């Protein structure tokens, strides 16, 4: 039987076998014979060169892995007092550019390299270091290299392919010679795969902000945020202690985070809390790192001279008849800190990047890039907005120059404009400022109270600012009996332009400057006043619904307020107030400030407590400076 062309099936099989053998033979030649056509005597030199190129590619991959994909580091950008992290972090000798950060002028930025940028930088790296491929050990050969070189790199998940256009004339001692212009090399590397995984983690963080969520949980567990406590004495916290506690907890919790995968095991629900699901299984080891030593911004509001304080309600005038005391507090935190993310594969290859984690007023950062924060107007501080001339001098009351940092505030926007520097016996600033009607200049210097000056800069301006030195004085409550645990004195000093508060004995000194002060002190001692549960009715007026509401009509609605049973253990037992003028000369000669506070009997019931409140408001305390 013949087919369409007249051949038998057996004949067709014969020709198919011949064709397969021919293809296999040709393939064998191309596989085992160098494509470059280099003679076998010259092949060792070519093999050495391509191996050297492979090694350079592996070196580039290692550098890129350590530096967040960057072989050539981006231009370094300094941080600022507001955002101290800058654009990169030095971690055990490795400089890691942040993939997300906030610049010194408070603009959110990303510097995640694309795979094309990594390929380009690796090409440049190989080209710049090609001279390391020295042929000195080939004594039987002569190698002449050309001057022009072109390197092309292609990064895949498991390898790096390198094409090098580089003319090499290779000669053997027997006269065999060949000019080779194209070279191909391959390096075994997981750089491409690990880069993709790292980018997935980063994009998940930018979209979901899971690191911020863990940071918020840590903050709320380790710092007072919002709450109410039944007590008649103020609640106080040392901000430095809160910051240390939160940073230490962040270090522990951040390094406990895992991504859903098979590179770890968990045994409890608590541990499962630290497992975050990115939507895919992670087989490489992923580590998260934060250290309190990293540049960290940590701000607390309200805070005064390192003290966080919440005052009680129920002892103020007009509230005595509530019959109980409570302290409501609300603290707002803004912090930013670096987190380093490391990926390590089974061969020990490393890819790491860093990012800034941000909490802004108890909320995670907004993910938008190149956008200023609400409280900061970056446009105000741009050079093109600084069009008016300002001449400013800063000094102390004795006209001694004081080098100061100067910032400018216009409405709700504020930025740094520079410093006064010593020139011709003056601390002088001469420069440009933004135009603003009724703005404020703020001068700050170490050891001095901040000074604010209202100024209009819609025309060239000249200003002179006086800074007053802060003097640290020991608090001396000389006639006060021993303070027990949980007992305290709260003393405040308020002048027209400076206010500070201290809680004794937790704080044993206070910083004061020249001024006329109203001084108030309250003594809280241990007591025990039991209050029964009370239910009172509260009525308020609310708008009517429908047409009546549109007409402005209101109705009264009443509800019950339940005051729970409580025991007051810290009670007001003394206090008073005084006015005192302090001048710079007296402060400079003094070491302590002695205060005599009138003491009363510890109250035994709510009536006693209300009476003592009235006494503390009308009593006089005695204050004197001492050397």
User: Would you say 406 and 388 are in contact if contact means Cβ atoms under 8 Å apart?
Assistant: no
Residue 319 has pLDDT above 50, yes or no: no
Burial category of 537 from C-beta neighbours within 10 Å (exposed 0-12, middle 13-18, buried 19 and up): exposed
Q: What is the pLDDT of residues 396-414, one digit of tens each?
A: 988 999 999 998 888 667 7
- Cα pseudo-dihedral 145, 146, 152, 153, rounded to 10: 20
Do 489 and 576 reside in the same domain of the chain?
yes
Q: What is the pLDDT of residues 433-475, one digit of tens each?
A: 888 888 899 999 999 999 999 999 888 999 999 999 999 999 9
Residue 532 has pLDDT above 60, yes or no: yes
Do 223 and 144 reside in the same domain of the chain?
no
Do 205 and 354 reside in the same domain of the chain?
yes
Q: What is the rounded average pLDDT of the residues 548-559?
A: 65
Judged by average pLDDT, the poorest of 11-15, 138-142, 152-156, 226-230 is 11-15
Last residue of a domain, one of 166, 189, 212: 189
Q: Is residue 409 part of a domain?
A: yes
Distance of alpha carbon 97 from alpha carbon 103, whole angstroms: 12
Residue 10 has pLDDT above 80, yes or no: no
Do 452 and 490 reside in the same domain of the chain?
no
Q: What is the pLDDT of residues 15-28, one digit of tens each?
A: 555 555 555 554 44
Do 410 and 420 reside in the same domain of the chain?
yes
Residue 371 has pLDDT above 50, yes or no: no
Question: What is the structure's pLDDT at 463?
Answer: 93
Q: Residue 121: beta bridge partners?
A: none
Higher pLDDT, 262 or 332: 332
Do 41 and 14 reside in the same domain of the chain?
no
Sequence-ordered list of residues with C-beta below 8 angstroms from that of 81, at least 6 positions apart, any chain: 416
Q: What is the rounded average pLDDT of the residues 602-607?
A: 76
Question: What is the structure's pLDDT at 288?
Answer: 95
Question: What is the structure's pLDDT at 55?
Answer: 94
Sequence-ordered list of residues with C-beta below 8 angstroms from that of 293, at least 6 positions apart, any chain: none
Do 443 and 578 reside in the same domain of the chain?
no
Q: What is the rounded average pLDDT of the residues 595-619?
A: 82
Distance of alpha carbon 126 from alpha carbon 56, whole angstroms: 6
Higher pLDDT, 41 or 151: 151
Last residue of a domain, one of 189, 209, 242: 189
Do 123 and 68 reside in the same domain of the chain?
yes
Do 3 and 48 reside in the same domain of the chain?
no
Residue 32 has pLDDT above 80, yes or no: no
Q: What is the rounded average pLDDT of the residues 178-201?
A: 92
Domain harbouring 435, CATH code: 2.60.40.1120
Question: What is the structure's pLDDT at 318?
Answer: 40
Distance of alpha carbon 468 from alpha carbon 485, whole angstroms: 36
Helix ranges restricted to H, 274-400: none
User: Would you say 558 and 534 are in contact if contact means Cβ atoms under 8 Å apart?
Assistant: no
Q: Is residue 372 part of a domain?
A: no
pLDDT band at residue 187 using 50, 70 and 90 as cut-offs: very high
Radius of gyration of the chain (CA): 37
Residue 505 has pLDDT above 80, yes or no: yes
Four-residue CA torsion sign, 533, 537, 543, 547: positive
Q: What is the domain count for the chain?
A: 5
Residue 525 has pLDDT above 90, yes or no: no
HSE on the CB side for 99, CA within 13 Å?
25
Last residue of a domain, one of 364, 397, 430: 364
Q: Is residue 211 part of a domain?
A: yes
Q: Is residue 537 part of a domain?
A: yes
Q: What is the rounded average pLDDT of the residues 375-381?
A: 48
Distance of alpha carbon 627 from alpha carbon 624, whole angstroms: 10
Pairing of strands 386-395, 426-434: antiparallel
Q: What size, in residues, is the chain?
A: 627
Provide the token pair at 448: 């001095």
DSSP sequence for 557-577? EEEEEEE--EEEEEEEEEEEE
Question: What is the structure's pLDDT at 565?
Answer: 64
Residue 508 has pLDDT above 60, yes or no: yes
Question: What is the structure's pLDDT at 34?
Answer: 39
Q: What is the rounded average pLDDT of the residues 270-292?
A: 85
pLDDT band at residue 535 using 50, 70 and 90 as cut-offs: low
pLDDT band at residue 560 using 50, 70 and 90 as cut-offs: low
State the residue range of the domain holding 16: 1-33
Q: What is the rounded average pLDDT of the residues 484-510?
A: 85
Do 45 and 176 reside in the same domain of the chain?
yes
Q: Is residue 234 part of a domain?
A: yes
Sequence-ordered list of residues with C-beta below 8 angstroms from that of 141, at least 6 positions apart, any chain: 42, 45, 135, 170, 171, 172, 173
Q: What is the pLDDT of residues 104-134, one digit of tens each?
A: 667 788 899 999 999 999 999 999 999 888 8
Q: What 8-state DSSP symbol labels residue 131? A: G
Sequence-ordered list of residues with C-beta below 8 angstroms from that of 78, at least 6 positions apart, any chain: 86, 104
Q: Is residue 5 part of a domain?
A: yes
pLDDT band at residue 30 using 50, 70 and 90 as cut-offs: very low
Question: What is the structure's pLDDT at 586?
Answer: 92
Q: Is residue 527 part of a domain?
A: yes
Quick one: what percent of the chain has pLDDT higher than 90?
40
Do 253 and 291 reside in the same domain of the chain?
yes
Q: What is the pLDDT of residues 248-278, one digit of tens each?
A: 999 999 999 999 888 877 666 556 888 898 8
Do 450 and 540 reside in the same domain of the chain?
no
Whole-number average pLDDT of the chain = 82
Provide the token pair at 462: 């000249």
* Three-class secondary structure of residue 177 per DSSP: strand
Q: Residue 81: beta bridge partners?
A: none
Q: Is residue 538 part of a domain?
A: yes
DSSP sequence for 189-237? --HHHHHHHHHHHHHHHHHH-HHHHHHHHHHHHHS--EEEE--SS-EEE
pLDDT band at residue 184 using 50, 70 and 90 as cut-offs: very high
Distance of alpha carbon 480 from alpha carbon 464, whole angstroms: 44
Question: What is the structure's pLDDT at 315?
Answer: 47
């Amino acid at each position: 039987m013949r087919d369409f062309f007249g051949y038998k099936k057996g004949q067709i099989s014969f020709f198919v076998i011949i064709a397969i053998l021919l293809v296999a033979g040709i393939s064998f030649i191309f596989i085992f014979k160098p494509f470059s056509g280099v003679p076998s005597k010259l092949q060792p030199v070519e093999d050495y060169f391509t191996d050297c190129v492979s090694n350079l590619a592996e070196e580039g991959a290692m550098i890129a892995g350590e530096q967040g994909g960057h072989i050539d580091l981006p231009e370094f950008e300094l941080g600022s007092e507001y955002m101290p992290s800058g654009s990169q972090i030095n971690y055990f000798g490795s400089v890691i550019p942040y993939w997300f950060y906030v610049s010194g002028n408070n603009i959110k930025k990303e510097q995640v390299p694309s795979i094309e940028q990594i390929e380009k930088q690796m090409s440049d790296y190989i080209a710049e270091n090609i001279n390391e491929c020295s042929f000195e050990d080939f004594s039987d050969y002569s190698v002449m290299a050309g001057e022009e070189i072109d390197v092309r790199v292609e990064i895949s998940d498991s390898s790096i392919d390198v094409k090098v256009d580089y003319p090499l004339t290779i000669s053997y001692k027997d006269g065999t010679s060949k000019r080779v212009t194209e070279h191909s090399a391959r390096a075994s590397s997981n750089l491409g795969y690990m880069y993709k995984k790292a980018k997935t983690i980063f994009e998940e963080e930018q979209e979901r902000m899971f690191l911020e969520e863990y940071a918020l949980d840590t903050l709320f567990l380790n710092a007072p945020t919002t709450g109410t406590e039944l007590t008649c004495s103020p609640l106080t916290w040392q901000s430095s202690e809160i910051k240390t506690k939160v940073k230490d907890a962040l270090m522990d919790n951040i390094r406990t985070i895992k991504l859903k995968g098979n590179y770890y095991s968990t045994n409890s629900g608590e541990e499962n809390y630290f497992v975050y699901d990115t939507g895919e299984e992670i087989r490489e080891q992923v580590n998260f790192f934060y250290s309190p030593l990293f540049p960290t911004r940590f701000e607390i509001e309200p805070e005064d001279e390192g003290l966080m304080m919440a005052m009680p309600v129920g002892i103020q005038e007009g509230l005595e008849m509530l019959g109980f005391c409570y302290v409501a507090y609300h603290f707002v935190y803004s912090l930013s800190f670096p987190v380093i993310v490391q990926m390590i594969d089974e061969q020990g290859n490393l890819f790491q990047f860093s990012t800034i984690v941000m909490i802004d007023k108890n909320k995670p950062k907004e993910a938008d890039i190149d956008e200023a924060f609400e409280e900061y107007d970056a446009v105000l501080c741009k050079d093109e907005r600084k069009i008016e001339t300002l001449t400013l001098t800063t000094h102390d009351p004795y006209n001694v120059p004081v080098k100061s940092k100067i910032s400018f505030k216009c409405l709700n926007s504020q930025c740094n404009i520079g410093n006064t520097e010593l020139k011709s016996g003056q601390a002088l600033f001469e420069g440009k400022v933004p135009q603003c009607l009724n703005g404020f200049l703020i001068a700050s210097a170490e050891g001095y109270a901040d000074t604010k000056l209202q100024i209009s800069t819609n025309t060239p301006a000249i200003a002179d600012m006086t800074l007053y030195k802060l003097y640290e004085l020991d608090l001396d409550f000389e006639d006060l009996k021993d303070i027990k645990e949980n007992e305290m004195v709260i003393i405040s000093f308020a002048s027209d332009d400076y206010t500070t508060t201290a809680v004794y004995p937790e704080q044993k000194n206070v910083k004061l400057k020249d001024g006329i002060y109203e001084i108030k002190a309250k003594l809280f001692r241990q007591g025990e006043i039991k209050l029964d549960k009370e239910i009172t009715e509260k009525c308020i007026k609310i708008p009517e619904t429908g047409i009546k509401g549109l007409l402005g009509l209101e109705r009264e609605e009443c509800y019950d307020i339940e005051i729970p049973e409580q025991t007051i253990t810290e009670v007001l037992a003394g206090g008073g107030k005084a006015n005192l003028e302090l001048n710079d000369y007296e402060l400079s000669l003094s070491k302590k400030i002695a205060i005599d506070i009138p003491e009363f009997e510890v109250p035994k019931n709510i009536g006693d407590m209300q009476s003592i409140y009235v006494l503390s408001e009308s009593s006089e305390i005695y204050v004197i400076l001492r050397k």
